[in-house]
Amino acid sequence: MKSPITVSITGGAGQVAYSLLFRLANGEVFGADQPVSLIIKEVPQFVSKLEGVKMELEDCAFPTLRDVTITDSDEDAFRGANWALLVGAAPRGPGMERKDLLTMNGASFRDQGHAISKTAADDIRVVVVGNPCNTNCLIAMRHAPDVPRDRFSALTRLDQNRAMAQLAQKAGAQVEDVTNVAIWGNHSSTQYPDFENARINGKPAPDVIGDRSWLENTFIETVQKRGAAIIAARGTSSAASAANAVLDHVRSAVNKTKGDNWFSAAISSDGNPYGVPDGLIYGFPCRSDGKGDITIVEGVILSDYAKGKLDITTQELLGERTDVSELL
């Protein structure tokens, strides 16, 4: 057996964390020969619930699960962590504006950034899931000065998975036939699911589907508003699919991207080739070297239509950055 990988998960008492913890522990993500140590963090008023989660994890008797630690301390949550999955975030309450949510959650991600910088392992990689995840990631990154910026990413993989499923259904294809789906910009209703560069069985998606109006309207709107549609249908948010996307994101990072394919992740826009303002956490088409390092794919052709969509989501992210300027 190899030395264990330590994975920290915040928001451990929530449904997203519950949906991913057992799959992290069973070898599905890092491999059947890779032991994993889990550190599960929750706010003080909910940390007692983690005792039951810990007992369940132990009762599964996963050969790959080395140990489980529960805590309500930021510093202890990230001590020696190789991966930090920042899932915990307060939801928007009645009458709350997006700016209010950004400010409230931003303070937590500021503190977590400090703790990651102070106690995490030298090779720490951080995935921000708690919304608004792009700007929360920016806040955490700014407050972890000892951690390279390219170690931080925010989750757009759920949007990618949703887009792939919609394209496959429309084309009468299988999901695995759909490749090169990028989600540009913010994980919000302004995101741009790039159908123009997507491929279905290696062919351009617009050629296979043959319905530009559906792509520009039904497809984009469905992906952008899928989370709200799920809440309306089941009365709660999409926990299982979000957890699955987190695991897909990590798997894509720890496995080398094959051929000319790519996946979607939101990473720092510094030095990007697409004119996105520096300093944003922005969804891009990405590749991995198989060691956890994610880089932006260069040379993706953007039409004037696509550039217009990118401008919309860019402006939203610039506005969010202004709203949390006191936390940066």
State how far the Cα of 264 lies from the Cα of 316, in Å rounded to an integer. 19
Q: Write out the E strands in 91-186.
A: 125-128, 152-154, 178-179, 182-184
Counted residue by residue, the chain has a size of 328
- To the nearest 10 degrees (0 to 180), the angle between helices 98-119 and 133-142 is 40
Alpha-carbon separation of residue 151 from 129, 138, 220, 280, 323 (angstroms) = 14, 12, 29, 14, 24
Instruction: Enumerate the active-site residues.
Output: 187
Question: Beta 125-128 vs 203-204: how paired, if at all?
Answer: unpaired
State how far the Cα of 304 lies from the Cα of 46, in Å rounded to an integer. 49
Cβ pair 317, 96 in contact under 8 A: no
Helix (H) or strand (E) holding 318: helix 304-323
